[in-house]
Amino acid sequence: MGTKHRKKETGTPGLLVLVPVFNEGPHVKEILTGIRQYTAADILVVNDGSTDDSLARIRESDVTHVINHEKNVGPGGALISGFRLATERHYRVLIAMDADGQHEARDIPRFLEAIKDVDVVVGSRYLPDSERRNTPPKHREWASGVLTRLVRQYTSYDITDCASGFRAYKVSALRKLNLTEKGYAWPFQFWIQAALAGLRVKEIPIALIYFQSEEDSRGESKLIRRTVSYCRWVMQREMRSAEPNPWRRVWWLLKERFFLLISNLFLTLF
């Protein structure tokens, strides 16, 4: 893994925009150019083992830092690398957004305004004021709904979009977390740890933009169900790890094992 630093100062002190990238060669330069239209902040791109020309396109762009993962470690791993740099270099605010065109740079000023009085701002695609530009597959919306309800059940957060990756964080809040989930379950480790740390969270509306993928055309409903099962297990594991009462920890462990047994049986049958 390598880190490249190109500039020391920009016009927005203390702000870092983090863009994880995996095989986004056709879009990444346009996305990074779009970010520059709305902020002069430092930009960090984490190239997560791309096998296309993403890294070349990144190096052609006006960015401040580049972290290059030699192999793909997953979206959580890319974010963790970015969070680490933000804390080590003492940034005050970090905004994370995807490089696939589903997050719009024009929303960055709204995130900066919203983060002033909370620790984390999440861009929600499901608030009443969120613009719905197209419709994701039903199994993806089902998974989002199930997992959002679980997050609300396990925490005090009255959220509407548990998996959105368009977020703003105060870096001081990130220092209170110990995130290790490198795959798609990272938001669910985050939610439990954030609740236990007492972080203040708010949502702001963003547009729901969905691009049909090759995986969707092949059918991925069983994979989605497995992912939901694993994300629920991650939340239960975090709850168990934080439980000071040993008997309660045993109860959480038994609950995890029972849930995994039932989930695996269901997935085998259906």
- Give the model confidence (pLDDT) of 224-269 as tens digits: 878 888 899 899 899 888 877 776 667 766 766 666 565 555 545 4
Residue 99 counted as domain residue? yes
User: pLDDT (tens digit, 9 = 90+) per residue, 167-193?
Assistant: 999 999 999 999 999 999 999 999 999
Task: Specify if 257 maps to a domain.
Answer: no
* Structural tokens at position 88: 């080590």
Three-class secondary structure assignment of the chain: CEEEECCCCCCCCCEEEEEEECCCCCCHHHHHHHHHHHCCCEEEEEEECCCCCHHHHHHCCCCCEEEEECCCCCHHHHHHHHHHHHHHCCCCEEEECCCCCCCCHHHHHHHHHHHHHCCEEEEECCCCCCCECCCCCHHHHHHHHHHHHHHHHHCCCCCCCCCCCCEEEEHHHHCCCCCCCCCCCHHHHHHHHHHHHCCCEEEEECCECCCCCHHHHHCCHHHHHHHHHHHHHHHHHHHHHHCCCHHHHHHHHHHHHHHHHHHHHHHHHC
Question: Looking at residue 229, what is its pLDDT?
Answer: 86
Q: Higher pLDDT residue, 146 or 216?
A: 146
Backbone angles phi, psi at 136, to 5 degrees: -70, 165
Q: Is residue 266 one of the residues assigned to a domain?
A: no
The CATH number linked to 122 is: 3.90.550.10
| Residue 86 belongs to some domain of the structure | yes
Q: Is it the case that residue 4 has pLDDT exceeding 60?
A: no
Is 251 part of a structural domain of the chain?
no
Q: How far is CA 202 from CA 48, 111, 144, 219, in A?
A: 28, 10, 18, 34
Please tell me the distance from the alpha carbon of residue 14 to that of residue 119, in angstroms, as a whole number.
15
Q: Supply the pLDDT for residue 213.
A: 56
Give the list of residues 6+ apart from residue 50 with CB closer than 8 angstroms, or none: 21, 22, 23, 24, 25, 72
CA distance 167 to 121: 5
Are the CB atoms for 2 and 79 separated by under 8 Å? no
Report the domain count for the chain. 1
Q: What average pLDDT is seen over the chain?
A: 88
Question: Is 14 within a domain?
Answer: yes
State the pTM of this model: 0.86
In a domain, 194, yes or no: yes
The answer to whether residue 179 is domain-embedded is yes
Domain that includes residue 58, residue range: 2-214
Q: pLDDT: is 88 or 221 the higher one?
A: 88
Of the pLDDT bands very low, low, confident and very high (cuts 50, 70, 90), residue 134 is: confident
Who has greater pLDDT, 266 or 223? 223
pLDDT at 269: 45
